[in-house]
Amino acid sequence: MRNIAILASGSGTNAENISNCLNNGTDIKVAVILSNKPDAGVHLRAKGFGIPSFTFTGAEFREGSPILRKLAEYEVDFIVLAGFLLKISGDIIRAYPDKIINIHPSLLPAFGGKGMYGDYVHQAVVAAKAVQTGITVHYVNDRYDEGAIIFQKSCPVFPSDTADDVAARVHELEYKYYPAVIKELLGKECRSKTG
């Protein structure tokens, strides 16, 4: 059994999609969900799946050791960021070399870096009149959005698009491809409920 942890700061739609896929028909298990926000929607979604979830302060995430203790408690050997907004501490990165991945809602290196997440990315894509955007799955290192790229998938941006239009298209890519990339990295197959 491979135990993964999901780190999330928001509503948890990607975490839910990943859990739907990985906890059904594989020997990969979402063992625990960690967040930096006690009121994040991901906690409610985790409860629905029977997955334990915990909140840690920003200081605890920066310091690293409280997180590492919780990961060890759940025998986690792989970490997936799904809408997690804090920088990962060096101690965690060193403890999980090439075992922490993130998904970014653009084709990196475009529209990446500190402060570039969620709707900020989509707004920047529209403002730049980009003709395409997409998703990038990458390893996490000590710099925002600069880890080695694992996978990218593009989608068009049309002149009439709003940031919401772009976000909807990008979310479709996230839901379809992020679980598949995780499975491939862990060398497993599973049936996704989202197709």
Q: Name the residues annotated as catalytic.
A: 104
CA 122/CA 124 separation, integer angstroms? 5
Separation CA 110–CA 72 (nearest Å): 35
Q: What string of DSSP letters covers 60-112?
A: HHHH-HHHHHHHHHTT--EEEESS--SPPPHHHHHHSTT-EEEEESSSTTTT-
Number of C-beta neighbours around residue 105 at 10 A: 26
